[in-house]
Structure 1
């Protein structure tokens, strides 16, 4: 069944009423959260539905729409029956159910398909009351249900399209960063790819020095521009195209990390999912492993330890052929963190053992550039977090001390994080004077580092120490902590790290 012209979905348009597409998208995201679904609805998605490009929503969106408009059917909302857009002769179809393994053959099997035009419109139901906007949420592929709409940035790989002038700029960040301009031209080539790769390095450098809070909003613009380059298409040679996909995916992960570290978990989930989709489309196992690594980390921090384990295991599968024992070690530690969150001490210990064995094999040519932070200090920190999650505070503190002693002072943000972790573990282990002294060191570093994560961790340690406020060193730390800027609402307060 081939259709050549889109028929606008008038019923769905009437549901939106006087709200803007963005406001209606926010209402959809809120409704999704009410029923435990995860979608990344935005104004673009609403526009695609209303234009008739999307004939039938995927299963996640279907459940959300039917929740928003009780008593309505998909037909009432202007959609075609699912079976009518899944015929054998259909040119493009509605999203399939999630698959269980990586695929790189076509966008329609890895990052949600585009849809044929709508062929029906019916009477509308009154729109539901307006709901406040929320940050977008996405789900990942592989072990996770329903890919989100943000993954539908299908990357054109042929043709020539004028690329508008764009800039990859982090100006105004806590430390000034160089401006990287992308010239207007009809072919995406080395200049553009180099600019994307440079933006990734700039973001990582500034994060290491200053933390995420002041960077996230600025970093979102270069990310949009990188994906615009992909959308524009390229006649560059395959090697350049592969670099552009990899660079855009790594940029998505870097921006996702800034969101993650500043407590914007929904935004981080969206960016990591987009990176994973890019990896699947490009057949890039290294990028896929990185996306799963960060997804696992985010799931652990967000209180979804089982998902953290699944994502880490998926990352290990992707990384097996990459020739990087250090990457396998980090992914094993991500798995250990998830198992610790499940209270699985034996599974956690085994994963840590695999991580240490892989780490001891040393560096290799296959180690990705982004892993420059993963040294012995980080290994010790991640193990400390595992024992902390399992309630073995003394053991956690031992590894935390090693981490702080080994950490390179140039990584200011990580040094603050390691000491914040140690402060909490010492406080819970009853070593309150040492905890207070370490807490002072964290406060010293927070004059240079902006990280909601670190402030949240320190706030958690301070709450543990409050019953001991009468002790001299503890009282001094608590007084100073109270006078420092507070952690933003919703910041993590438990054992978290990079």
Structure 2
């Protein structure tokens, strides 16, 4: 592969050195300071791949505002200070920059590049390009993008507005079209050329953006719009790729996108659609021998089977996922898959099988993170572990134990995952109601209702409806009447 000679787009304004941050570094070298940042991240459960180059970019003013993970770490390191005190620009002043950069006109193909391998303005370097002359340590984790990365999915107001307003520009178009993958009528007007690095990168970024929107807002408003990127992805596979490495990336990306779209269907109550998408991802994994994709597809299939009332299938799918995942070397992935199995055993009312799977999940989780952990598992931390265990005990009818784990899950969850906070709190409300603590259940239910202007999830609304039914006989208890009235005023789902 020809190495890229085109760098990412230039900032809209000249970078101003961040003198305040430089002063905080003091007499330490950039590498020493980066080590302190990584240590501080571990103290609060974050995982950032900070190095001397990142510190240099901050001090040079190239990173005007850090992403959310780095923000939490920096504020932990320097308590009582704001981002502005640390020399950064307000987050609002850099929002939307990614969208403006990404829609700039593409540059001419790089000299010596293979057909289909031209690089658009603002496109990052290809991390799979072994001849790239960038510093290899600058390969930051995909779920921790640099703040100035033109594809920083945490900062795209265009995507957020398209999702929340449901306007003419769909999330599908906003997700893929600026990155080089036309969908709908635009794609039909011309035959697809063979796919190259830009298309593979666009596909991978589409998966990350869809997951980010789901983390924040839930699935209901996103599912149908996300189908267009999936169709575009499989059209790319049909068109072929310029080289085998690109083809492998396209297959993996299409499979992960099928799982993401399947999850959106799953979370919005469309179980048959979800089953079809997961099966499509599994077929793609089997066709290419991709064990990581196969494990992911079986993982989600197990979760779906549990929710659809097929617990024995959930156990079998979770065990199949563990067989596929074992060679990958990720203890965290094996921990999550053990939790999926525990959910199936709980559905079968097998308390012993459930407890054994939960014990394995905890033991594997305690081994910590590793470089082998899949990117899609960024959601899986202590909060998710607690939340899934709460669901197991709830299924087994142990409401007291379930409520304790649900409370921990809601307390531990990163504020970025708004949907999960709502989910865990809804689980807590239901467990408390069934445990016979109506006033506390109503209080938790009201917290969930306050999040529904940000989160659209049929799963959460279904849980709230069940909680409301349990609380009806307790209307006179403190707060219950307010919860029931506010819940009754919710718009009915179509």
Distance in 2 separating the partners of 1:313 and 1:328: 10
Contact 1:459 1:487 in 2 (8 A): no
Contact 1:455 1:487 in 2 (8 A): no
Q: Determine which of 404, 409, 418 is the counterpart of 1:403.
A: 409
State the 1:487 CA deviation.
4.9
Cα shift readout 1:184-215 (whole Å, capped 9, x = no counterpart): 66321101101111110110011111110110
Cα shift readout 1:62-108 (whole Å, capped 9, x = no counterpart): xxxxxxxxxxxxxxxxxxxxxxxxxxxxxxxxxxxxxxxxxxxxxxx
State the 1:413 CA deviation.
0.7
Residue in 1 that maps onto 2:180: 181
Q: CA RMSD in A?
A: 1.8
Q: Are 2:253 and 1:253 aligned? A: no
Residue in 1 that maps onto 2:486: 480
Point out the structure with the larger helix share: 2
Superposed, which structure 2 residues align to 1:315-394 within 5 Å? 315-394=321-400
Cα shift readout 1:337-358 (whole Å, capped 9, x = no counterpart): 0000000000000000000010
Q: Determine which of 210, 214, 223 is the counterpart of 1:203.
A: 210
Cα shift readout 1:393-444 (whole Å, capped 9, x = no counterpart): 0000010111011001111111101100110000000111110000000000
Q: Secondary structure at the match of 2:419?
A: helix
182 and 407 in structure 1: CA distance in 2 versus 1, 3 angstrom threshold: same
State the 1:486 CA deviation.
3.4
Distance in 2 separating the partners of 1:396 and 1:481: 23
Aligned residues: 321
Distance in 2 separating the partners of 1:378 and 1:239: 34
Query: Structure 2 unaligned runs (5+)?
Result: 1-114, 117-157, 166-170, 183-190
Distance in 2 separating the partners of 1:186 and 1:466: 60
Residue in 2 that maps onto 1:412: 418
Residue in 2 that maps onto 1:449: 455
Q: Secondary structure at the match of 1:486?
A: coil
Q: Secondary structure at the match of 1:367?
A: coil
Contact 1:340 1:348 in 2 (8 A): yes
Q: Secondary structure at the match of 2:385?
A: helix
Q: Secondary structure at the match of 2:342?
A: helix
State the 1:237 CA deviation.
2.3
Contact 2:406 2:427 in 1 (8 A): yes
Q: Determine which of 162, 181, 194 is the counterpart of 1:172.
A: 162
Superposed, which structure 2 residues align to 1:50-449 within 5 Å? 172-174=162-164, 177-178=174-175, 179-182=178-181, 186-234=193-241, 236-449=242-455
* Structure with the larger RCO, 1 or 2 (CA within 8 Å, 6+ apart): 1
Query: Taking structure 1 as the reference length, what is the TM-score of the superposition?
Result: 0.63
State the 1:241 CA deviation.
1.2
